[in-house]
Amino acid sequence: MTQENRPVIRLRPKANARAIRHGAPWVYDNELVTDRRTKAIPPGAVAILEDDARAQMGLVAVNPNSRIFGRMLDRDPEAQIDGAWFLTRLRKALELRERLYDAPFYRLVHAEGDGLPGVVIDRFDDIAVVQPNAAWADTRLDLLADALIEATGVSTVILNGTGRARGLEGLPEVLEVVRGTTPSGPVPVPMNGATYYADLLGGQKTGLFYDQRPNHAFAASLAKGARVLDVFSHVGGFSLAMLAGGATEALAVDGSAAALALAEEGATAGGMSDRFATRRGDAFDTLTALAEEGARYDIVICDPPSFAPSKKTLDAGLRAYERIARMAATLVDEGGYLGLCSCSHAASLEEFRAACTRGIGKAGRAGQLINTGFAGPDHPLLPQLAESGYLKALFYRL
């Protein structure tokens, strides 16, 4: 589409144009002059963004149905959002990952952090799982998939159109193979000396949480000779890494029987099954039961789903983090280690740390905070977007 044919949206006089010029990637609906014309722009269309003086600021992807009305795509208002544009962004993302990792298992695209707003792509060797969580990317999935194959050489592309973010964009849920062949089963993923199994068509998110890789590695560095409890374990993220690091035994707790079965498969593949056990159940109920049984561990890790996915749920979420810290702390032996994680972008590091520290104190324990971890470098943070730095991991010695 030529510049002359593109719709134009304009900032209100009181909008923070400076923040956008300095890299802020989102334009909210209350920052724009909205009328019948702008509200009629189709979701996913590309528009030119102007400031209140009509100076062009770049190209934005528009969704009038979302509070995030515009997502910055390119500072050049004459850019063409075509296959070549996608290919350039994907090759830039790939170059970083190939410097970081010696095997093709990583997050290839981390949305705004890689200049593809709302787009998440996780790579599993010859397979890529794409989450187009914004309307502009959903409507250009064919361009994206073709460029992805050209840039990386993968043969299979899976569309994982599920999750809360798509609902906020007014997008339907869909899960399908859009290029190549359907995987014959769970995919083995080597990471931190362990083998994980990812269900790319039926698991949580894209099938595996690459973001915790450095925190798994830190926990593994503490694990030699340790008895380990891994709560909210999913497919054994922390527990398998710690067994690879020399833990004598590990118990993985999760509510999903399917996830625990994949964890057991990973333990078998790594020759660790004799040191690995699983327990299915609600995490809070299981922590209570383990305390009543008198169980104690050298390392306890709790990596729950988001307790505070929005500002509205922040207070309740912080109370839940405090509660989980209190319950988990009672199971840690003297001199042992407690790892607590949050993937809630609405909870700041300071708020999360305060909640965890309160919980440890209410358990009658004192803790040294020995490490603060974040997502790995394949999840690059956009400094102007706090939401891109969602993951936090705190490790205490009690």
Residues serving a catalytic function are 343
CA distance readout (Å), 76 to 43, 85, 286, 338: 21, 12, 54, 48
CA distance readout (Å), 228 to 255, 284, 316: 18, 17, 28
Contact (CB, 8 A) for 381 and 388: yes
Rounded Cα–Cα distance for residues 23 and 385 (Å): 9
| Burial letters 104-126, b for 16+ CB under 10 A, else e | bbbbbbbbbbbbbbbbbbbbbee
First-to-final CA distance of the chain? 61
Rounded Cα–Cα distance for residues 133 and 172 (Å): 10
Identity (one letter) of the amino acid at 268? T
What phi and psi values does residue 159 have, to the nearest 5 degrees?
Answer: -90, 115
When computed from its CA atoms, the radius of gyration of the chain, rounded to whole angstroms, is 22
